Structure 1
Amino acid sequence: MTGYHIPEHLTEEVQAFLFMNASRRVNRMFPVPPMLALGGPPGSGKTTGVKETCTRLDVHLDVLPSSILGGVYAGQSSITLRDAIKRASQSEAWMSAILIDDLDMSEARVDDALSNTVSSPLLNGTLMAYADNPFELKTHDDPTEKEAETLALERPPVIFITCNDLSKLYGPLRRNMRMVHVEYDPRGQDAVAIVQAMYPKTSPADIKKLVEAYPDASIAFFRNLGMAVAKTHARRFARSIKTRLFNPDFARLARDLEAAATGASFEELATAAQALSLTEDDKNHLKSVA
């Protein structure tokens, strides 16, 4: 919908991670973790930050939501992950990557909330085996089946992981030689810069005032303000049309809604923020670790 500012420290972390893994393709003895985990409260912009950074660096990125890491039979999550790794390794881009979104909400989680399934150790085992040697990929886990084949990967993808709470992941998986850890929870000037990129027509002074008024709000909270302003304009449009002559120009409407969101005034954003902060839905936008 709008531009997105990426804090410099995140860009540098991701760039260094990608460049070191590209170097490992040349020198395989260079012990670089192929996984980078981005931890932080829900709504802090972790997923968007990874996507935007990869886009700007021309990295081929496949997104693997944790919701599809599961299935009706044991080991299905491992199969899904291995298939994604194999596909990404075939990319012609200078570097390919997989983004596993909310891994701590998947079968890889090890606390009492989401654990004790047969698939949990299989998924964590697949991730650890890949972290230890991303140049080889086994075809399956079941020793009762035919002997597992090993696929050689000349261009193994890196794996980005987002988590609300990194401590919910399997301890051995989080070891430094398997995973790089980055905490991401934009505050202060970083948050101001991100929100300013969302609403470029609003003055920096007003954006700063807005962010400071809601110091515990997530980046998602501020992004939803533009959607609230656009919804107000959509309602006005709905009231203006005649039912019997319903033939709206949706292309023009889309442009108008985009302009309404990105060009929102401080007064419109402040009103939307006040309304959103009073709703039950706000619990999903204020920062808290799941």
Structure 2
Amino acid sequence: MIVFPTHAEFITNPNRCSFITSRNYKTFSSISFCLKKPTSASSSASKEEESNEKKNESTKRKLSEQSSWEAKDSEGKDYLYKLGKEADNMNIAVGARAGIIDDLFVGKFLGTDADIVFDYRQKATRSFEYLQGDYYIAPTFMDKVVCHIVKNFIAHLLNVKVPLILGIWGGKGQGKTFQTELIFQAMGVEPVIMSAGELESDRAGEPGKLIRERYRTASQVVQNQGKMSCLMVNDIDAGLGRFGFTQMTVNNQIVVGTLMNLCDNPKRVSVGQDWRDSDITHRIPIIVTGNDFSTIYAPLIRDGRMDKFYWQPTREDITNIVCRMYEKDGISRDEVVSIVDTFPNQALDFYGALRSRTYDRSISKWVDDIGGVENLGKTLLKRKKDDPLASFVPPKQTVEALLESGYSLFREQQLIMESKLSKEYMKNMDD
């Protein structure tokens, strides 16, 4: 039968209890406490000794054995408390910083204050390295975009009301986005670009918050990198426009309200944080594109908030743009003029699709050269790195081939407009 020492005996004569290790000390002490209730004096002494031992244990623990949640912020609260207050229960902003993330995950080669995902998380801006070549920029288009950006950056020097938003609208496929990106590249602007698909979410308030965050990101580009920046939203009418009996959602209303608030107060933008007197952002111009602005909430597009620019390229603009497009193919300007005159009233993307259609026969021949359609997936995706593919030979562009592709595209356009198969499918519904 084992006689367990009491709490007081362990304190007064620890050598007698040498068989008790530090690991099972708490277990034996709890048992002895239940067997024999110590006196008040021994109870206070045991509590004091127990607290001192805990302090000694905490000082002996290595940093890698400590939880990263023990790190305190400036208010003395740990990060677990902060996570509980955050809506998404995510805290990825702290990065790999000493005292916050364990050294095991920081690594010595990164330094004591490294953040290995900073570049990937913060790179919300767009660069245009892929725009290689000499492209044509319409002078009227460039004047409008450049004037809008410059006016907003020097708005504090002007004694006029400067609209924050420039709305570029017009027919489909007229190169509104591409021309704007060419101007950004020429000016050295590093924009933050959004699409209409980001203006809706299954969570209320997320798109509006996203716009404010992207706006502040563009402001940080100006402040930290010394580059001009802007916020661009492509196809805004597809996300905010009202077509027929479509329903307006809470997020639509919040996005419209956010954009209107940015126009009225472009230097104070909240993303949910407490206001600070020094929290002033740069005025960032906003550029939006769309096809029909009449579907957007009218107070947003009023003249004080949005400067509107209708882009309809002239015949001269189309000819110059297509000439630059076909310049490497050896197509002369006179031949381009004949192609444009053969297919009048077409959008700019028609002439790009026309050139792409001429590659179809060459691609079909290339598929046969690499093993046919039966082995296409195996040849393209499962081949070894050392196995060479048959070289693709692009077709030689001629006016005849371009005209043939153009007539094919034109017939498909006419067939879609004339067939209207939806009416054919629904013709018996009225009976």
TM over 0.5: yes
Partner of residue 347, structure 2: 218
Normalised TM-score (structure 1): 0.83
Q: Are residue 126 (structure 1) and residue 258 (structure 2) matched?
A: yes
- Partner amino acid, structure 2, of 1:269: L
Of 157, 172, 175 in structure 1, the residue corresponding to residue 284 of structure 2 is 157
* 1:5 partner SS: coil
Aligned pair in 2 of structure 1 residues 126, 281: CA closer, same or farther (>3 Å)? farther
Aligned letter for 1:275? S
From 211, 214, 239, give the equivalent of 2:368.
239
**Residue type of the partner of 1:85?**
Y
Residue of structure 2 equivalent to 1:144:
none
Equivalent in 117, 122, 135 of residue 4 of structure 1:
135
When the two chains are superposed, the root-mean-square deviation of aligned CA atoms in Å is 2.7
Residues of 1 paired with 2:364 and 2:321: CA distance? Answer: 28
Distance 1:282 1:153 in 2: 56
Task: Encode CA deviations 1:7-54: one digit per residue, 9 max, x unaligned.
Answer: 110011111111111212x53865211211111011111111111111
Question: CA separation of 1:189/1:160 partners in 2, compared to 1, >3 Å: closer, same or farther?
Answer: same
Q: Max radius of gyration: which structure?
A: 2
Q: Secondary structure at the match of 1:31?
A: coil
Tell me the distance in 2 between the aligned counterparts of 1:66 and 1:113: 19
How many residues of Structure 1 are paired with residues of Structure 2 in the alignment? 269
- 1:181 is aligned to 308
2:337 is matched with 208
Gaps spanning 5+ residues in structure 1: where? 141-146, 285-290
1:35-184 aligned within 5 A: 35-91=165-221, 92-106=225-239, 108-140=240-272, 149=275, 152-184=279-311
Is the 2:170–2:312 contact (alpha carbons within 8 Å) kept by the matching residues of 1?
Answer: yes
Q: How far apart in 2 are the matches of 1:281 and 1:63?
A: 35
Which string of whole-angstrom CA distances, capped at 9 and with x for unpartnered residues, describes residues 100-137 of structure 1? 1110010x224545442112221111001111121111
**1:69-92 CA deviation, whole Å, 9 max, x = no partner?**
111022221122112112111112
Q: Report the equivalent of 2:149.
A: 18
TM-score by length of 2: 0.57
Q: Distance in 1 between matches of 2:282 and 2:246?
A: 33
- In structure 2, C-alpha distance between the alignment counterparts of 1:80 and 1:123, rounded to whole Å: 9
Identity of aligned residues (%): 22
Tell me which amino acid in the other structure corresponds to 1:268: A
Q: Do 2:153 and 2:283's aligned partners in 1 also have CA atoms closer than 8 Å?
A: no
**Cα deviations by residue, 1:150-187 (Å, 9 ceiling, x for unpaired):** 78444332111111001111111111121111111213
Tell me: CA distance 1:282–1:65, structure 2 relative to 1, closer, same or farther (3 Å): farther
Query: Who is 1:198 aligned against?
Result: 325
For residue 401 of structure 2, give the secondary structure of its aligned residue in structure 1: helix
Aligned AA (2:265)? N
Question: Which amino acid in the other structure matches residue 18 of structure 1?
Answer: I
Structure 2, unaligned runs of 5 or more = 1-131, 380-386, 418-431
Distance 1:276 1:13 in 2: 33
Q: Residues 162 and 93 from structure 1, CA distance in 2 versus in 1: closer, same or farther, beyond 3 angstroms?
A: farther
